[in-house]
């Protein structure tokens, strides 16, 4: 595990990817929740929501038929004047799309970092090779699918800003900017759906973990020193880490060389359960 791009404490690859899944997946419920806001319609309000010249029963009748035709249960707005001028539901829905885009992009950034290398980077995972990466550097393969999703996210973020500004631009009893709002929301939805499907089929499903590389990084890093705190104390563990870093030795090598713990004690301290916080 890493914080601020610096070695932190050990974690399993399963824990890391589970966090990725929850990060993105939790917004499915948000999307369903706020999509309900879009079921409110102001049909029958006519010009500004007062309902002038609307036949009696028209609103209920048209909403019933609209629900049947679309398969979406529409509901009348509580206040037709408010519903004609206020486009807050679009802002909220677009905001959830942006939130999904931001989380997806951040996750793709992490995948690119974990895949970096193949020898001079982290190289803990291998992303599927989709295309040749360079006409200049033979054999170079780039993480193009995560990069595609990054760019989709930037577009969705921009679309959300357009929605925000358009919703703010209405005057008095009508907002005439609804067409550009709908255009941008629909584009964001289409791009996210296609982008996530592409990410799933051409990247996520083909990811491989390089177990040897993960073990190499764990054994050669200083993060295992945290597990020694209960045995030799924080101050001594900190000193050991500095010695190991300066001398380019492992934590185990320094501890054994200085006689701070036996090999058996180190094995117990570095047991997987201890390295993972006792879980």
Highest mean pLDDT among 29-33, 46-50, 107-111: 107-111
Mean pLDDT of 218-247: 92
Say whether 221 is catalytic.
Answer: no
CA atoms of 116 and 209, how far apart (whole Å): 13
Q: Which residues contact 90 (CB under 8 A, 6 or more apart)?
A: 38, 163, 167, 178, 181, 182, 185
User: What does the block give as tokens for 268?
Assistant: 């117990």
Please give the CATH number for the structural domain made up of 2-42+77-210: 1.20.200.10
Q: Which residues pair with 171 in a beta bridge?
A: 174
- Chain segment 47-62, per-residue pLDDT in tens: 898 999 999 999 999 9
Please tell me the distance from the alpha carbon of residue 128 to that of residue 207, in angstroms, as a whole number.
Answer: 6
Residues of the chain with CATH 1.10.40.30: 222-275
pLDDT above 70: residue 278 = no
Q: What is the DSSP string of 15-61?
A: HHHHHHHHHHHTHHHHHHHHHGGGGEE-TT-TTTSS-TTPPTTHHHH
pTM (predicted TM-score): 0.88
Q: What whole-number distance in Å separates Cα of residue 222 and Cα of residue 203?
A: 31
Q: Where in the chain is the domain with CATH 1.20.200.10?
A: 2-42+77-210
CA dihedral sign of residues 155, 159, 162, 168:
negative
Predicted confidence (pLDDT) at residue 188 exceeds the cutoff of 90? yes
| pLDDT at residue 67 in the model | 96
CATH of domain 222-275: 1.10.40.30
Cβ-defined contacts of 241-249 (< 8 Å, 24+) = none
- Give per-residue pLDDT as tens, 77-108: 999 999 889 999 999 999 999 999 999 999 99
Residue 126 in 3-state DSSP?
A: strand
170 class by beta-carbon count within 10 Å (0-12 exposed, 13-18 middle, 19+ buried) = middle
Candidate list 15, 70, 134, 247, residue with the active-site label: 134
Q: What is the spatial distance between Cα 54 and Cα 62, in angstroms, rounded to a whole number?
A: 12
Percent of the chain with pLDDT over 90: 75
């Amino acid at each position: 595990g890493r914080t601020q791009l610096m070695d932190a404490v050990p974690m399993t690859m399963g824990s890391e990817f589970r966090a990725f899944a929850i990060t993105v997946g939790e917004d499915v419920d948000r999307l369903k929740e706020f999509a309900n806001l879009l079921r409110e319609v102001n049909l029958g309000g006519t010009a500004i929501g007062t309902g002038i010249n609307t036949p009696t029963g028209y609103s209920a009748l048209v909403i019933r038929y609209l629900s049947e035709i679309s398969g979406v249960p529409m509901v009348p707005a509580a206040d037709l004047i408010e519903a004609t001028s206020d486009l807050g539901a679009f802002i909220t829905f677009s905001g959830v799309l942006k939130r999904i885009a931001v989380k997806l992009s951040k996750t793709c950034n992490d995948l690119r970092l974990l895949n970096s290398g193949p020898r001079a980077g982290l190289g803990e995972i291998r992303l599927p090779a989709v295309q040749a990466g360079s006409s200049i550097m033979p054999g170079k393969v780039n993480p193009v699918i995560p990069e595609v999703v990054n760019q989709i996210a930037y577009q969705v973020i921009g679309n959300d800003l357009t929605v925000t500004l358009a919703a703010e631009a209405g005057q008095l009893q009508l907002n005439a900017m609804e067409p550009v709002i709908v255009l941008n929301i629909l584009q964001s939805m289409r791009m996210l759906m296609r982008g996530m499907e592409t990410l799933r089929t051409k990247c996520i499903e083909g990811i491989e973990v390089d177990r040897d590389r993960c073990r190499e990084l764990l054994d050669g890093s200083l993060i295992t020193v945290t597990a020694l705190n209960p045995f030799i104390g924080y101050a001594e563990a900190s000193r050991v880490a500095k010695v190991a870093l300066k001398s380019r030795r492992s934590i185990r090598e320094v501890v054994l060389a200085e006689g701070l713990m036996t090999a058996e004690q180190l094995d117990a301290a570095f047991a997987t359960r201890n390295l993972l916080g006792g879980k």
